[in-house]
Amino acid sequence: MKLLRYGEAGAEKPGMLDAEGRLRDLSDHVGDISGAVLTPEGLSSLSAIDPASLPVVEGAPRIGACVGDIGKMVCVGLNYADHAAEAGMDIPPEPILFFKATSAICGPNDDIRIPRGSEKTDWEVELGIVIGKPASYVDEADAMDHVAGYCIVNDVSERAFQIERAGQWVKGKSADTFGPTGPWMVTADEVADPQALAMWLEVDGHRYQDGSTATMVYGVRHLVSYISQFMSLQPGDIISTGTPPGVGMGQKPPVYLREGQEIACGIEGLGTQRQRTIAWNA
């Protein structure tokens, strides 16, 4: 299944894509794509619904983040061997974890606002893992039982705030609009191998990132297990798993986002995102 949320920000409705790619309304069945809806039992109930029985949503409504009421977004740093090399950094001996504030999460095609004082706003296309079953001290052998599905996350980052301003990375990761998520969540049963997905990102039509989840240092199974040793994971939490090479910081010379640009990114089988960069007060 491909599950999504549509409508004005803060008032999104639950939806499902049918086999022809038409948006169908799920409002008569669930209140949102969140929480218990993402558990194995919740997804099983949705899978029993005939999409043809659902109302077609006409027009082209705004698409929101594919999961609502996200409790936390846990991000993984330097998790692609080729990206670590690009950054001139060693592969970490354990996953590097940081958080992105949930207030940064937005729709996949919403505008990205360049923060005040920013000179180094950057892009990172990433595979997002959506948790569907509570996870605490999970063994790797059982980790995939806790995955509801996958989505695209653009881990937008302000590198000066992240690296040059002292403290934790979260300062450069959490500006409003710095977490485009979606367009939809593809349930785990439709992703044969999350470690074999092509991924890409373009700015103004120039392809900067062209990689694959195959070069992850720590894969989906390991990340779910590892993170669950330090905190419980709840249905609707998202793990953003790191980015392949081609970020702006890694260009020679570095290239950063400015107002009036267009970003497009995608992951095989998970759809595409398109954003426009605007001034903070636009």
Q: Distance between CA 244 and CA 215 in Å, rounded?
A: 8
Whether 37 is covered by a domain: the verdict is no
- Structural domain contains residue 32: no
CB 95 within 8 A of CB 218: yes
The answer to whether residue 238 sits within a structural domain is yes
In a domain, 111, yes or no: yes
Average pLDDT of the segment spanning 71-85: 91
Chain-centre distance of CA 254, in angstroms? 24
Mean per-residue pLDDT for 190-218?
A: 97
In a domain, 107, yes or no: yes
Q: What is the pLDDT of residue 218?
A: 97
Q: Which candidate, 155, 132, 150, 170, places its Cα nearest to that of 220?
A: 150
Inside any domain, residue 28? no
Average pLDDT over residues 197-214: 98
What is the domain extent for residue 131?
64-279
pTM above 0.95, yes or no: yes
Q: How far apart are CA 190 and CA 46, in angstroms?
A: 14
Q: Which residue has the tokens 């991000």?
A: 75
Q: What is the DSSP letter of 31?
A: S
44 within a domain of the structure (yes/no):
no
- Asked if 92 and 217 touch (Cβ cutoff 8 Å), the reply is yes
CATH no. for residue 156? 3.90.850.10
pLDDT at 101 over 70: yes
Q: Is the pLDDT of residue 157 over 80?
A: yes
Query: Quick check: helix, strand or coil at residue 39?
Result: coil
Residue carrying structure tokens 């790797």: 140
Q: How far apart are CA 169 and CA 15, in angstroms?
A: 34
pLDDT single digits (tens) 175-185 = 999 999 999 99
Q: How many domains does the chain have?
A: 1
Distance CA 240, CA 233 (A): 13
Report the pLDDT value the prediction gives residue 282, as an integer from 0 to 100: 63
What sign does the dihedral 169-171-174-175 (CA atoms) show? Answer: negative
pLDDT at residue 116 is higher than 80: yes
200 in a structural domain: yes
pLDDT of residue 72: 98
pLDDT at 91: 85
**Average pLDDT of 192-198?**
98
The candidate with the shortest Cα–Cα distance to 156, out of 268, 275, 238, 68, is 275
Gyration radius of the chain's alpha carbons: 18
Cα torsion through 43, 47, 52, 58, rounded to 10: 20
The predicted structure's pLDDT at residue 87: 76
In the chain, % of residues over pLDDT 90: 94
- Mean pLDDT computed over 178-193: 98
CB 261 within 8 A of CB 201: no
C-alpha–C-alpha distance, residues 235 and 39, integer Å: 6
pLDDT, tens digit (0-9, with 9 covering 90-100), for 218-270 = 999 999 999 999 999 999 999 999 999 999 999 999 999 999 999 999 999 99
For every residue of 213-266, DSSP letters joined together read GGGBSS-HHHHHHHHTTTS-B-TT-EEE----S--GGGSSS-----TT-EEEEE
